[in-house]
A and B are shown apart, each in its own frame.
Chain A
Amino acid sequence: MSHRTIYIIVGAVVAVLLVVMLATFDYGTPNKDEAKANDLIAAYQDAGLTNRLDAEQLAKLLGDDGGAVCQAAADLPSGHAVRGYVKLRFGVGGEFYFRPTRLDRNLVARSLLIVKTYCPDQLPDVRNFVDGLRLADVNGD
């Protein structure tokens, strides 16, 4: 097989993947919900945790469904591969070398508050997952 043929095949596979990904992606724009964002800010304050973004910015990031946080929360109970994969990403490093470290207790507390505010049904599963982790004061806030 000539190199040219290889490049053509690789190019064709990439083109097909691009078409599939463009065709299947959900382009829906999440609804903003500033009321929920305000609830989250209040929850941070009640827990004594700092928050740097206002309700409008949080609403943009979390929408009305908790965005990526609640998506991850929904995946945790159903997929052990997801849990294994997420555990692989708690750490530091580069592309090849990646080492598990200790997660910050306050950071996890903040994530749990997002789950509690936006997708409370998932809270027991996420809490169950988090309870299996050894947390530490890492960020010092």
Chain B
Amino acid sequence: MTDASASFDPAVDAPAVPVARTKTGTVGVISWSALALMTVSSVASLRPAPTMAVYGLACVFLYLLPAVVFLIPTALVSAELASGWEGGVYRWVTEGISPNMGFAAAWHQFAMTIFYYPTLLSFVASTLAYVIDPSLASNGVFTAVVIIVAYWAGVLLSLRGGIGVVAKLASSGVLIGTLIPGALLVVLGITYLLQGNPSAAPMGAGHFLPAWTGIASIVLIVSNFGAYSGMEMNAVHVNELDDPPRQFPKAMFVAVALVLVILILPPLAISWMVPAEQISLTAGVMQAFSAVLAHFGIQWLTPVIGLAIVLASLAGFLTWLSGPSRSLLLVAKQGGYLPPYFQRTNAAGVQENILVVQGFVTTVLALLFALVPAVSNAYWIFMTITTSVYLLVYLWLFVAAVRLRRLQPDHPRGYRAPALPLLCGVGFVASLAAIAISFVPPSQFGSGSPATFVAIVGGGILILGLIIPYALIKLRKPTWQLGEAEAAS
């Protein structure tokens, strides 16, 4: 994977200059606040709130610890790297480790998104069903149709509008569908307590830490280390900002604050008002909202909240659709890692063929997920595998950051992260621990053998994380390396 012969062609490699000096025709397409909200929509939403609410006050700890060991390292290191180099993770890894590892990092980001879309869009389907007709929730055809229609509508939007439209829609979506309903939930929660109602979950200081029950506690705590995955993803759009060295770190710090607020406060508010046993089997944000709104006699708000939550999910979807596929395009163009067909962009500069091919794969996955019982029952295993593959990106990211400080100490950076080696060390260990804990069988695996589970997850990580990118690197041909003009056409 670190084949030195696969070095960049300087003729097509993007210049290694501080991004502030790299003015292109697209600079200023995204405002820093839109980029901050895009980052928020990539990482945080109300979707996990009911699931985390079952842990009561301990959900605060479950989010704060990963914030220290993963979120802060990722955010600060990404802020430094994005303020010095264009292109996002693939570029940082390319510069810091090797071009082949840069391609592998782009692939690891991209691979997870393919499996992620059906889960995200099936949530959209279940939210629509909850409001329109709850019996639709168990209708596989309805779920498949919603996933496929939403996916291709997103592709069409990205192709026609480009990143400027995506940024505006995504930032509006997170505002309407996450920030406003989240704030409402918290206000209602505080009101509920002020009315003199007892909290449904104990809130004493003794409940701040999760109960220690052995391996289950370790699985619970360490599994959440990667909860903030995706903070670095939008760095691929850094050259669309007016002043990346100043604006990207600013966007990152605002995003960190919002992500923490969104992920911590709504589950806490739900745990005050709805007992854990009433949401553990449904794990649905609409069910939680419905219970809360019913307490205050304002159920009429449910359809509005439902639509807002759908919009937030679609905002997150658009952000993911435009990020990792863009990374894959850029690294494919610069290193000739993919056939010319995949390097083609449309007039708006969008990676149309990558999105279309990804769309066909997503369509097949959506049909299997919605219509084939064996696939839908086992889909959580794909998510376990792909989250681990995504976490590999952070291993490469932290190694690259340390090496770049050593290899290119004088390279101008708009922001320098404090104690970078320490940040990278902590982030690396946290990412590695979260990968390692994915080998412990969760509830969904039932009474299956742990060895079988290890083989399935290990095999999946090996195929998706190592064998496929290695094969792509080995199969590439010199003719895939296009000149700049040819690639742009």
A73 engages B119 (CB within 8 Å)? no
Whose C-beta in chain B lies nearest to the C-beta of A69? B278
CB-CB under 8 A from B459, the residues of chain A are none
Given contacts A88-B379, A140-B211, contact A102 B443 (CB under 8 A): yes
CB-CB under 8 A from B139, the residues of chain A are 79, 81
Given contacts A52-B199, A68-B279, A101-B219, contact A134 B443 (CB under 8 A): yes
A85 engages B122 (CB within 8 Å)? yes
B438 engages A99 (CB within 8 Å)? yes
CB-CB under 8 A from A98, the residues of chain B are 48, 119, 383, 387
B380 engages A87 (CB within 8 Å)? yes
Contact among B227, B371, B373 with A93 in the assembled complex (CB-CB below 8 Å): B227
Give the docked Cα–Cα distance between A23 and B333 (Å): 49
A68 engages B223 (CB within 8 Å)? no
B224 engages A72 (CB within 8 Å)? no
Most buried by B among A30, A89, A104: A89
B230 engages A138 (CB within 8 Å)? no
Main secondary structure of the interface of B (DSSP, over half): helix
Whose C-beta in chain A lies nearest to the C-beta of B376? A84
Q: Is A42 an interface residue (CB 8 A)?
A: no
A79 engages B138 (CB within 8 Å)? yes
CB-CB under 8 A from A25, the residues of chain B are 131-132, 302-303, 306
A102 engages B442 (CB within 8 Å)? yes
A71 engages B229 (CB within 8 Å)? no
B376 engages A83 (CB within 8 Å)? yes
Contact segment of B30-38, B94-102, B158-166: B158-166
Give the docked Cα–Cα distance between A6 and B154 (Å): 12
Contact among A14, A51, A92, A107 with B224 in the assembled complex (CB-CB below 8 Å): A92
**B interface residues (Cβ-Cβ under 8 A, vs A):** 41-45, 47-48, 51-52, 54-55, 62, 116, 119, 122-123, 126, 128, 131-134, 137-140, 143, 157, 160-161, 164-165, 168-169, 197-202, 210-213, 215-217, 219-220, 223-224, 226-230, 259, 263, 274-284, 287, 290-291, 294-295, 299-300, 302-304, 306-307, 310-311, 316, 320, 369-371, 373, 375-380, 383-384, 387, 390, 434, 438, 441-447
**A interface residues (Cβ-Cβ under 8 A, vs B):** 1, 3, 6-7, 10, 14, 17-18, 20-22, 24-25, 27, 29-30, 51-53, 57-58, 60-62, 67-69, 71-73, 75, 78-104, 107-108, 110-111, 113-114, 126, 132-141
